[in-house]
Amino acid sequence: MSEGAYVFITGRRDPELAAAVKEIGGNVSGVRGDASNLGDLDRLFVQIKREKGKLDIVFANAGTAAFASLGNITEEHFDSIFDINVKGLLFTVQKALPLMPDGASIILNASIVASKGSPQWSVYSATKAAVRSFARTWTTDLKDRRIRVNAVSPGFTDTPGLNDLLG
């Protein structure tokens, strides 16, 4: 932002979004929405198009995690994690594409768990393996437009989400 970028940030909770906008301070809009809800994504990109006309960089960060060992995985556990981490990420990027100029950049937030085997993490880890796979295939889908697609794979990082998960 100090170099002149204008940023749109999203999330489902209004108070946290407002606090983040305040902390960033300027050149930022907070748009409430659920990344796994295609209608919310449509509204987000309509607003970006109306206000800025294009989008140079997408950072697909929204993600969630929960523990369940094989034998105890419920449909709700599976759907709740895949809906955000895989479906939400895919449609975030796909719906952003019409706003992205040639040479733009897409960054996907994966995780080290994509290539590790840890107990009770199978569903979350599989979503992050899917994210890393998207980076490889989308790079080829988008090469004619010179749009780069990279996945970053952080290790354990002290965040509110990780703290909630670990109690």
Residues lying near ligand NAP in the complex (CB under 6 A): 10-13, 16, 34-36, 61-65, 84, 88, 109, 111, 154, 156-157, 159-162
Angle between helices 38-52 and 89-96 (to 10 degrees): 30
Given 124, 128, 130, 134, which residue is catalytic?
Answer: 124
> What is the smallest separation between the CB atom of 33 and ligand NAP, expressed in angstroms?
6
Which of 140, 157 has the CB closer to ligand NAP?
157
From residue 48, alpha-carbon distances to 7, 9, 18, 26, 37 in Å are 10, 11, 18, 16, 17
> What is the smallest separation between the CB atom of 4 and ligand NAP, expressed in angstroms?
24
Q: Is 124 a catalytic residue?
A: yes
Which of 20, 146 has the CB closer to ligand NAP?
20
Which of 65, 104 has the CB closer to ligand NAP?
65
> What is the smallest separation between the CB atom of 84 and ligand NAP, expressed in angstroms?
4
Alpha-carbon distance of 31 to 96, in angstroms, equals 15
**Which two three-digit tokens encode residue 139?**
């790079």
Answer for the pair 124, 113: CB distance below 8 angstroms, yes or no: yes
Report H helices in 27-108: 38-52, 75-82, 89-96
Which of 36, 123 has the CB closer to ligand NAP?
36
Q: What strands, in cross-sheet order, belong to the sheet with 57-60? A: 57-60, 105-109, 148-152
Amino acid at 148: R
> What is the smallest separation between the CB atom of 158 and ligand NAP, expressed in angstroms?
7
Query: What residues are labeled active site?
Result: 124
